Structures are given as C-alpha cells and as structure tokens.
Chain A
Amino acid sequence: MFKKGDLVILIFVAAILGLFFLYRYGLSGNGGEITAVIKQEDKVLMEVDLSKVQETQHFYIDGPYPQTVRIENGRIRFEDAECPDKVCVKTGWLDKPGDASVCLPNKTIIYIESRSSDIDGISY
C-alpha cells in the first residue's frame, strides 16, 4: 500500500510534529526552572536558572554601594552590601517565583520570574 515516497513524507511530517511539540511543551514548559534576574537601573546584569546551579557562586555589583550576591542551588540573596541600611541583605533568601529584593541606594534588584502566583503584588 505504501510507496517509498509516502514513507518519506510520513517521516517528514512526524519529524515536524515532534519538533513542534518539543518546542511548545518541552522547551517552553517550566520544567523546574527558577529564573533569577539581577538588574541595576534598567540593565540586566545577570540571569540565572537557580535549579541548575551546582556550587555556591558569588556575583559582585559595582556602584555607589558595592554589593555581593550569593547564588546557591534553588536560591539567591544579597549577602553583603556597603549601604547604610542593608535592607537588601535583611530581605534574606529568595527562592519562590515573585520573590524580590530591592536596594534603593545602589539601584539594584534581584527577582525570581513568576508565571503565575497567588497574588498580583504586595503593599508595603
């Protein structure tokens, strides 16, 4: 019933479908990804998938009040800062989507990207 040409087309279609599904549900699915973003003013300094971090890393931020960011598997935080109030350090670990820590003096923020959350924002 099948000719050789049919088989080629069938494989071709199957391959396209496979790629499509991979693209749609594989790569774009969250698959345990926890993306943390470090920004200073408008500039993204670093994006990191916390779920893939194996060893503890440090990231240093310049500016009027230099800061140290500590990155571990699944979590991230400001570890040290030379600003007076150290609100960013006091914020502690960020490990859930929507978590964020802001440093006003050095104009930096770390946040964990969220696709959906129980809340839309926090009044503080």
Chain B
Amino acid sequence: MVHILKLARACRILAVIILLMLMPGCIRHKELPYTSSDFIMGTYVTQRIYGENAEEAAKEVRQRLEDIENRMTINAPGGEINNLNEMAGNGVVTLSSDTYYVIREALTYSELSGGAFDITIGPVVKLWGVFSDDARVPEPHEVEEKVKLVNYRDLILEEPDKAKLTKPGQIVDLGAIAKGYGGDEAIRIYKKHGIKSAYINLGGNTVVLGSKPDGSPWRVAIQNPRGENNTYIGIVPVTDKAVVTSGDYERYFEKDGKRYHHIFDPKTGYPAESDLISASVITEKSIMADALSTAVFVLGLDKGMELIENLEGVEGIFVTRKKKVYVSSGLAETFIFDDKSGEFEYVQKR
C-alpha cells in the first residue's frame, strides 16, 4: 500500500519534471516546412511550404505544373504549342486560356525588349540541338536560313483564344517563359490554400511567397557563373518576389575550345554574345522575371540595365565576362555581395 502511494507520487514528480523539460523545447522548436521535390517541366522542382494544407497545396502545384507542361511542351508529342507549330503558315488554332495568356505575356516582353526576347526562336534552338544528345555547331548558311523564321511579329493572337504563325516552318518555344508562368501559378495555389510562407525553385527559377515564418526575408543566393553548383556570388533578401537567372553556364557544349550555350540571340541565330555571363531579374511576377532575365542577358549590361531601371518594381543583378558584378539602383542597399571564390569584383553603381 505504502509502495503504491509512493509510486503515484513519484509519477507525479516525474510528470512535472518532464513537462518542465519539454517547455523550453516547445519555445525553441521551429516550425518545419513541408518539402517536396519532383522532376517536372523537364527540370527539378523543389517546394518548401509552411503552414496547414501544405501537403495538399504542394500536390496541387505538382498537378498544375504537369498540366502546364503537357499544354506547352515541344519536347514531347501532343499539346497546344505543338499544334500551333504544326499549323504554321496554315491557319489558326484554338488555345486554352493558359497558353493564350503566356503567349500574350511573351509578346509584351518581346516588344519591351526590342525583340531580344522572342519565343519564335524555335527553329534556331532545334537547329543547334542544345537540348538533345546531338548538339552541334551548324553551318553559317543553315543559321542564316533559320534565323529568317524568327520574328515574334509573325505570331498573331486573335481574341479571345486563337493564334497563328504566319510562315511555314516557324516554331514557338516557350522554354524561356513557361517555368516563369508555373512559378506564378504555384504562388496563386499557395495563397488559395491560405499559406503565408512558401518557397519554390523551378530549375533555378526561385519564387517566394511572403517572408520566412520568423518574419525575416528569404535569402536567395545568385549562382557563381564560373563556380561549381551550389557556390554563389551574393545574396538578395526578398519577400513576395521571383528571382530568375539566365546564364551561359546552365546548358552548353564545347567545341574546339569555344562555349556554345543555350540562350540564342534572335537577331543572329547564334548563342548570345553580350558582355554578360549571368543576368538575374527580381520582380513580383515570375513570368516577367523569367522573360526579362533572358532579354537582359541577350541585351548586355548597358541596354539591359537601362531596361531594368526603366521598369517599376523590377531589379537586376548582372555579371560581366570581366567578372564584375553590377546591381540596379533598387538593390544597392540590400544586395549582399558574398563571393567566396574571390574572383569577382562588386561594382555597386556606375
């Protein structure tokens, strides 16, 4: 009898001690995000979502991205863009509101960049075969022939859901913008599920919703364009922003000591040879950041910076061949230059 009483008392004491020990643990305990990684849209997609409904939201985003991929791909059969391309020079096709929106946006950024961004680049991309196993340097006459087909003005939209390519052989390639759209859709889905804090990375396109759960901004690093993966030249703290980078290091092949990368100049049909090796664009709309990072990379430092500075709510980070790093005026205060390789020079303002 005495023993049982003592045991009961001991249990109470034990319970109190354990509770006391757990308490500071509860306070220190950080909320862990729901994370998921998948191969979608021909790339690696990572999501990090805080809050309830995170898992559901991630699943819906996955499905949405697969949807977008199926509609807009030209690397697999079927879909609306393949349809549009097959009908080039031959009439009008009907598009979903998704695809129509993405093309309309793309044409806006083509105008804005004076044609440095152009989704009718398809014939050139195909000729070079950068994304396939048989990448090669084509003959100059081949390039000349294909680049004649590149002109976003030949891509005509008809309200509310029709589009056509004017000339046979023309090819729309949404590779430089579809992931950007995917990022915006992901954020829309997170918000729909009541999520306040999330991060998604679509093959290097980084998009964040809100700030981190502790209220601090997300710290997005900019890849060192000449370093190994996972090395960076600086960090930009952001909330509710997309950070998209275009560089000559992402996809390329080398032939006779020359680097041929995957971002083509719509005017020449050759890999863009501006003074930049990397261009990052930071703005709220991911589709805009995606398109403009390509445009700016093609335009080069001077024209690219001018374009960025003239747009409200859009900032940029530029790395030149001479390994100098420039940022637009809106980033002068916030960009953290952090180059562990010691090879880059930060030129804050020109």
A residues lining the B interface (CB < 8 Å): 5-6, 9, 12-13, 16-17, 20, 24, 39, 41-42, 84-85, 87, 90-92, 94, 96, 98-102, 104, 107, 109, 118-124
B contact residues around A5 at 8 Å (CB): 2-3, 6
Q: Is B310 close to A, CB under 8 A?
A: no
Query: Would you give the shortest CB distance from A95 to chain B, in whole angstroms?
Result: 10
Given contacts A122-B206, A123-B204, contact A9 B229 (CB under 8 A): no
Q: Is B78 close to A, CB under 8 A?
A: no
Q: Do residues A99 and B230 form an inter-chain contact, with CB atoms below 8 A?
A: yes
Query: Would you give the shortest CB distance from B172 to chain A, in whole angstroms?
Result: 22
Number of A-B contacts defined by CB within 8 Å: 99
Q: Is B251 close to A, CB under 8 A?
A: yes
Q: Do residues B250 and A13 form an inter-chain contact, with CB atoms below 8 A?
A: no
Determine the main DSSP class of A at the interface with B: mixed
Q: Is B162 close to A, CB under 8 A?
A: no
Out of B37, B206, B230, which one reaches A98, CB within 8 Å? B230
A contact residues around B46 at 8 Å (CB): 121
A contact residues around B6 at 8 Å (CB): 5-6, 9
A contact residues around B37 at 8 Å (CB): 39, 109
B residues lining the A interface (CB < 8 Å): 2-3, 6-7, 10, 13-14, 17-18, 21, 25, 37-39, 42-44, 46, 48, 132-133, 135, 199, 201, 204-206, 208, 212, 218-223, 228-230, 232, 235, 243-245, 247, 250-251, 253, 280
Q: Do residues B230 and A96 form an inter-chain contact, with CB atoms below 8 A?
A: yes
Extra A-B contacts (16), CB below 8 Å, given A5-B6, A13-B17, A118-B219: A9-B10, A13-B14, A85-B253, A119-B235, A120-B208, A121-B46, A121-B206, A121-B218, A122-B204, A122-B206, A122-B220, A122-B221, A122-B222, A122-B232, A124-B204, A124-B247
